[in-house]
Structure 1
Amino acid sequence: QIPDCATAYWGSRDAVNWTRSGIPVTKWQSDAISFATSYALNHPPPPDNGDPYSNLQEL
């Protein structure tokens, strides 16, 4: 999920010449953290079934 978030961040900021609401992004680290937090809330990870060997009987 991290590569997808990083790509989305770069694309969204680059598309608007590295501005946020019309204001130039000068502190990209805090802007990236804010973006990643929002991205994580809107793109939850897939559910984990817990046991990676749960289908062992199928083998």
Structure 2
Amino acid sequence: MAEERFPAGNRENTDAVPPGTPNAGENICRRCGGTGEIDGTDCPDCSGTGKVLTPVGGAG
């Protein structure tokens, strides 16, 4: 069986939107689980913050 790229239960943030998107809000990064790190390096999705912007109520 192939080794998983990310820990079990964590997924990429496919619903993340760019900064400045109207009606978007902070959410915990699913890739790193909010820790900001993967294997001791900054998470590529949240840049180490543990948070991403996601649409709220149809934003994006």
How does the TM-score come out when normalised to structure 1? 0.21
How does the TM-score come out when normalised to structure 2? 0.21
Give the structure, 1 or 2, with the largest relative contact order (CA under 8 Å, sep 6 or more): 2
Q: Considering only CA atoms, is the larger Rg found in Structure 1 or Structure 2?
A: 1
Between Structure 1 and Structure 2, the one with more strand by share is 2
